[in-house]
Amino acid sequence: MALSRRQFVGAAAGTAALAATGTATAQEEPDYGGWFDDVSNYDGTVDKRGQDTVTITVGAQGNNGAFAFDPAAVMVSPGTEVVWEWTGEGGGHNVVSDGDGPLDSGSAVSEAGTTYSHTFESEGMFKYVCIPHKALGMKGAVVVRPGSGSSGDGGSGGQQQQGPPENPDYGGWFDNVSNYDGTTVDRTDADSVEISVGAQGNNGAFAFDPPAVRVTPGTEVTWTWTGEGGGHNVVSDGDGPLDSGGAVSESGTTYSHTFEEMGVYKYACVPHESLGMKGAVVVGGPLGGSGGGSGGGSEQEGSGIELSGPQWLLSGSVLLAFFSPLLFAVAMRRRQNGRPPQMGEGGELQRATGPEPVEEAKETEPAVELGHDEYDPKGTAALVAFYFVLIGLLWVFMYFVEFLGRVSIIG
Amino acid sequence: MVFVDSYPKTSKLVRSEFLVAFVALGIGALFGVVQALHRTGVFRGFVSSADYYTILTGHGVLLALVFTTFFIAGLFTWAVANSLERELPQRIAWSAFWIMLTGTVLAAVSIIGGLVGAPSILGHDLKADVLFTFYAPMKAHPAFYIGAALIIVGSWVAGLAYFKSLWEWRSENPDERIPLQTFMVLTTMLMWYVSTIGVAVEVVAFLIPWSLGLIQNVDPLLTRTLFWYFGHPVVYFWLMPAYLVWYTILPKLAGGRLFSDPLARVVFVAFLLLSTPVGFHHQYTDPGIPSGYKFIAMTNTMFLLLPSLLTAFTVVASVEHGARQRGAKGYLSWLRNLPWGKPAFAGCMLAGLMFAAGGFSGMINAGMNINYLIHNTIWVPGHFHLTVGTAFALTAMAISYWLVPQITGKKLRQRSIATLQPYVWFVGMAVMSNAMHRAGLAGIPRRTAEPTYDEFAFEGVAGTVGEMRIQIAIGGFLLFVGAAMFLIVMADTLLARRGGTLSVNSNIPEPLSGADHSPRILDNYKLWTAIALLLIVIAYGPPLASMVADGLFAPGSPPIPV
């Protein structure tokens, strides 16, 4: 009953401009059916078609530790040999198909440099997991599909190049960035754009401002240091082109880069990345107007919730129980309708004529009056003594038989 | 005169509090039977195994936090008004009610959000699959923590209404002893104030800012420790109202008188002193807490057996007094001479009997070494279904049969269902809890949707795992039926017309030994609270200091799941 994952499909433009990370933003994203919902490092399918050999790292950073395949989802041409290479981190891993697939690297191993390879001949989608860490989200998929990858497959009709949509799916990149308000600042009108480094945000001067900006290809982006919040730098997430070097704190420092290719370029300040000092530059065509690329639009799958029969029963019962006070109140009202109006809330003044008189049951008199001095609780003493003996015996059983009898538990 | 006519305003408050409690009981019981059928594999069609934890959280929060707190608020409101013979300060008491209700709605909506796909509300996924024990680093929607905090704050405000009543009463009766019921209510509330500091700091200082994203990391050990600082005393917050019923109402229902008023006061003072410095006995397997402090917690816990054993004696002696006044003779045959057909009496007695069994499994839980045998197994839920799930819940239901007619002026309806109901609950709990204890000894874990593993088979000491599963499912189903029977009786009673002669009588006879014979120091709240705080500083000071010494948020953990 989880919501379908929102999948943004790039505007219908050609695929020539791929993001620096190689994400197939403009390629139709395969439907993994929720397979990557709990995989933290999944960030779209990486298009590696046209290569003879593709390498996937096993034990890459992700899923709260070294519990990831990198890239998690990759698209290759038929006949490609895919090689999995172990980093040696995160304990023992393996590569095993989900269900009946062809992949099985055997039991989990942890040595760095271990490799496992498989050549995919037929088209299709091949999901796989690391069995020990499947629950943590260590899952991947290889999609085998003809085409030539990053050189583009000819586009779908020669419309004007548009690049990523107006609000690209950043894949959770901005989740902990306090000064990102969900919008990508549109600067496609400018030839050069400035971003301040060390702006206020993320509980201190730990922000890029604006955090997300859209520019046209050929724009020079300049980062300018405010001098606040200690040493910062600007480094691409993953394999991107940005790298301002080591962290510096001097006010007025600048770093610039000219973006030529369309795509989404994520970057962070390495010392403060965990605080949320992250940003992104989106390189694409100008927005607005009914540009050529409107054909595809951004398609969101329906967010309908599907319930099975018993689930309907359960939700129905919960709702019924939840609203029962309301139903109850209605029932109360209906019962009171037949009575004189002053009976409503029962104030003091209306009491004389109002509610029906109520009296309590008569107190039952004891058959024998037993005072303080005549009463000796000997039956109670017997019961309490019996209880002591019982729990004593049970304790002996628990300690000597159950506890000491199972030394394996305590070593 | 019937309570509803003597104190109409307070009666309305009690009715409102009970109504919320009963709705929570209904939803919680529904979630309970879904769980019992799911984890035993009898039927798994209601929810997916991932959503099981949402149901588990709902069951725990609605029953252990909402049902208990609202019912206790109602019971205490009645007890204070009844024993001090005055209406409660209305404005304070009603604000408490509305604060708690707001908190309940926030928490409940956050939990239910997890069942409808966790829609994003205010930038966070609306869900709270964090279980009743809401440990970091599992993270819920901020609304859940804010709701939980409001429930606690509301209960504080309710306590203020009780204290204000006492101060008013004291100014008119400067030399009298505090009436026993009020004494019990206020001692319980003092214990509650002292012990909820922990969870309040945990939620307000750490979990709310963390769930809002204002701070990135929290220290899981520190927040767990703060939770359990509150997490054990909360069980006495459930239990002491049941004791209030057993001490002050049950003897009358049996036809007798309370054996000793001073003994009852000693018991409640002992709970105030010892309830809180024991939380580490929930953390025996946690690293980072010195063993010596775990040992102190164990010692304090074992001392806590004392007031419960005193209670066992006093309450049973009072009931025996009732049987003797009914003309019973013989060593044990007096047990037959009791009103077992009256649901209020039968329910309280069966609840007390179950609590005796729960006391035993509690001793095992509290033992520092033997705890490893059953730590985090289903033994532990087996234990607390005997204590909060029966000693408290069955007592609450039973005493409702006696109390609800008095606060509504309506005769109890569906008497035959009501008479049977405590026995259905008792049998259901006996079957379920026994099987849970045995399954725990076999090592079956708690908090698990599908406790089966590919290359491992659990082995029971006596009986098979399959048989235990069936018993848990049958017991859970009977408990659901029991809760439904109770709610039917209550709904029909509340919807009936008022008037006529009730079947209950509210007069509570004087104890055999009255308060006059007891030292006045028992009523000295300042002294007992000061000693309680001192014991807490000894038990918690150094370990908490060492946890904080390496930084409030360190070693930190980001939220899970990401």
Give the pLDDT confidence of B504-528 residue by residue, as tens digits. Answer: 999 899 999 888 878 889 989 999 9
- Residue A342, pLDDT above cutoff 90: no
Question: Can you give the pLDDT at residue A156?
Answer: 39
B121 to chain A, any CB pair closer than 8 A? The answer is no
Question: Can you give the pLDDT at residue B105?
Answer: 95
Q: What is the mean pLDDT of chain A?
A: 77
Are residues A59 and A147 located together in one domain of the fold? yes
Question: Can you give the pLDDT at residue B224?
Answer: 92
Q: Is residue A318 part of a domain?
A: no
B385 is catalytic: yes
- Domain end: A151, A172, A202, which one? A151
Question: Can you give the pLDDT at residue A37?
Answer: 85
- Residue A368, pLDDT above cutoff 50: yes
Q: Count chain A–chain B contacts defined by CB atoms under 8 A.
A: 181
Q: Is residue B101 part of a domain?
A: yes
Q: Is residue A232 part of a domain?
A: yes
Q: Is residue A175 part of a domain?
A: no
Between residues 389 and 408 of chain A, which touch chain B (CB distance below 8 Å)?
391, 394-395, 398-399, 402-403, 406
Question: Can you give the pLDDT at residue A201?
Answer: 85
B236 is catalytic: yes
B116 to chain A, any CB pair closer than 8 A? The answer is yes
Question: Can you give the pLDDT at residue A354?
Answer: 60
Q: Is residue B559 part of a domain?
A: no
Contact A92, A161 (CB under 8 A): no
- Over the stretch A57-72, which tens digit does the pLDDT of each residue have? 999 888 888 889 989 9
Per annotation, catalytic residue among B38, B39, B141, B232: B232
- Over the stretch B32-80, which tens digit does the pLDDT of each residue have? 999 999 999 898 888 888 889 999 999 999 999 999 999 999 999 999 9
Q: Which residues contact B360 (CB under 8 A, 6 or more apart)?
A: A391, A394, A395
Q: Is residue B562 part of a domain?
A: no
Q: Give the chain A residue whose CA is nearest to the CA of B58.
A: A318
Question: Can you give the pLDDT at residue A305?
Answer: 56
- Residue A389, pLDDT above cutoff 60: yes
Are residues A190 and A285 located together in one domain of the fold? yes
Is A232 a known ligand-binding residue? yes
Question: Can you give the pLDDT at residue B151?
Answer: 95
Contact B14, B407 (CB under 8 A): yes
Contact B320, B300 (CB under 8 A): no
Q: Which of B210, B108, B20 is nearest to B116 (CA)?
A: B108
- Residue A296, pLDDT above cutoff 60: no
Q: Which residues contact B386 (CB under 8 A, 6 or more apart)?
A: B354, B355, B357, B358, B361, B429, B433
Q: Which of B53, B204, B58, B60 is nearest to B138 (CA)?
A: B53
Q: Give the chain B residue whose CA is nearest to the CA of A369.
A: B325
Q: Is residue A302 part of a domain?
A: no
Question: Can you give the pLDDT at residue B84?
Answer: 95
Containing structural domain, residue A277: 185-289
Question: Can you give the pLDDT at residue B235?
Answer: 94
Report long-range pairs for B200-208 (Cβ below 8 Å, ≥24 apart).
B200/B149, B200/B152, B200/B153, B201/B226, B202/B226, B202/B227, B202/B230, B203/B145, B203/B148, B203/B149, B203/B152, B204/B149, B206/B136, B207/B134, B207/B136, B207/B145, B208/B142, B208/B145, B208/B146, B208/B149
Place A123 in a pLDDT band, splitting at 50, 70 and 90. Answer: confident
Mean pLDDT of all residues in A121-140: 88
Helix, strand or coil, per DSSP, at residue A95 = coil
Place A325 in a pLDDT band, splitting at 50, 70 and 90. Answer: low
Are residues A199 and A140 located together in one domain of the fold? no
Q: What is the ipTM of this complex?
A: 0.86
B517 is catalytic: no
Contact B284, B294 (CB under 8 A): yes
Q: From CA B9, how far away is CA B430, in angstroms rounded?
A: 40
Q: Which of B336, B502, B328 is nearest to B410 (CA)?
A: B502
Mean pLDDT of all residues in A58-87: 89
Query: Which of A380, A386, A389, A410 best tests the B interface by mutation, with the highest count of B CBs <10 A?
Result: A380
Q: What percent of chain B has pLDDT above 70?
A: 100
Q: Encoding tokens for residue A301? A: 């799958």
For the domain that residue A93 is a member of, what is the CATH number? Answer: 2.60.40.420
Place A41 in a pLDDT band, splitting at 50, 70 and 90. Answer: confident
Are residues A55 and A136 located together in one domain of the fold? yes
Q: Is residue A243 part of a domain?
A: yes
Are residues A132 and A209 located together in one domain of the fold? no
Is A277 a known ligand-binding residue? yes
- Over the stretch B417-454, which tens digit does the pLDDT of each residue have? 999 999 999 999 999 999 999 999 888 999 998 888 87
Mean pLDDT of all residues in B128-140: 89
Q: Is residue A59 part of a domain?
A: yes
Q: Is residue B558 part of a domain?
A: no
Between residues 261 and 320 of chain B, which touch chain A (CB distance below 8 Å)?
309, 312-313, 316-317, 320
Mean pLDDT of all residues in B104-124: 88
- Residue A317, pLDDT above cutoff 90: no
Query: What is the number of domains present in chain A?
Result: 2
Q: Which of A266, A297, A269, A296 is nearest to A184 (CA)?
A: A266
Q: From CA B472, how far away is CA B33, in angstroms rounded?
A: 10
Question: Can you give the pLDDT at residue B488?
Answer: 92
What is the CB-side half-sphere exposure of residue B125 using CA atoms within 13 A? 17
Taking contacts as CB-CB distances below 8 angstroms, the residues of chain B near A317 are 30
The closest CB to that of B213, out of A3, A63, A176, belongs to: A176
Q: Which of A117, A134, A121, A133 is nearest to A54 (CA)?
A: A117
Is A130 a known ligand-binding residue? no
Q: Is residue B182 part of a domain?
A: yes
Taking contacts as CB-CB distances below 8 angstroms, the residues of chain A near B356 are 387
Place A407 in a pLDDT band, splitting at 50, 70 and 90. Answer: low
Q: Is residue A19 part of a domain?
A: no
Question: Can you give the pLDDT at residue A307?
Answer: 65
Q: Angle at CA B375, nearest 5°, toward B370 and B378?
A: 120
- Residue B137, pLDDT above cutoff 90: no
Question: Can you give the pLDDT at residue A303?
Answer: 42
- Residue A151, pLDDT above cutoff 70: no
Handedness of CA B367, B369, B372, B374 (dihedral sign): negative
pTM above 0.95, yes or no: no
Residue labelled with tokens 């029966």 = B390
Q: Is residue B554 part of a domain?
A: no
CA distances in angstroms from B394 to B337, B406, B423, listed in the order given: 22, 19, 10
B501 to chain A, any CB pair closer than 8 A? The answer is yes
Question: Can you give the pLDDT at residue A141?
Answer: 92
Containing structural domain, residue B532: 3-449+456-549
Query: Which of A277, A318, A330, A406 best tests the B interface by mutation, with the highest count of B CBs <10 A?
Result: A318
For the domain that residue B523 is a member of, what is the CATH number? Answer: 1.20.210.10
Residue A145 dihedral angles phi and psi, to the nearest 5°: -150, 140
B446 is catalytic: yes
Q: Is residue B281 part of a domain?
A: yes
- Residue A6, pLDDT above cutoff 70: no
Place B91 in a pLDDT band, splitting at 50, 70 and 90. Answer: very high
Per annotation, catalytic residue among B163, B183, B236, B480: B236
- Domain end: A235, A270, A289, which one? A289
Place A292 in a pLDDT band, splitting at 50, 70 and 90. Answer: very low
- Domain end: A289, A306, A322, which one? A289
Contact A21, A238 (CB under 8 A): yes
Q: Which of B436, B438, B498 is nearest to B472 (CA)?
A: B436
Q: Is residue A146 part of a domain?
A: yes
Query: What is the number of domains present in chain B?
Result: 1
Q: From CA B265, how far away is CA B244, in angstroms rounded?
A: 11
- Residue A166, pLDDT above cutoff 70: yes
Q: How far is B326 from chain A (nearest CA, A)?
A: 5
Place A160 in a pLDDT band, splitting at 50, 70 and 90. Answer: very low
Q: From CA B32, how far away is CA B66, in angstroms rounded?
A: 15
- Residue A5, pLDDT above cutoff 60: no
B250 to chain A, any CB pair closer than 8 A? The answer is no
Q: Which residues contact A209 (CB under 8 A, 6 or more apart)?
A: A179, A195, A196, A199, A200, A201
Query: Which of A315, A351, A375 best tests the B interface by mutation, with the highest count of B CBs <10 A?
Result: A375
Question: Can you give the pLDDT at residue A161?
Answer: 55
Q: Which residues contact B333 (CB under 8 A, 6 or more apart)?
A: none
- Residue B561, pLDDT above cutoff 70: no
Q: Which residue has the higher pLDDT, A360 or A326?
A: A360
Per-residue H/E/C for B137-151: CECCCHHHHHHHHHH
- Residue B559, pLDDT above cutoff 80: no
CB contact under 8 A, A406 and B313: no
**A104 alpha carbon, distance to own chain's centre:** 28
Question: Can you give the pLDDT at residue A339?
Answer: 54
Place A152 in a pLDDT band, splitting at 50, 70 and 90. Answer: very low
Per annotation, catalytic residue among B384, B392, B486, B540: B384
- Over the stretch B465-488, which tens digit does the pLDDT of each residue have? 889 999 999 999 999 999 999 999
Are residues A192 and A249 located together in one domain of the fold? yes
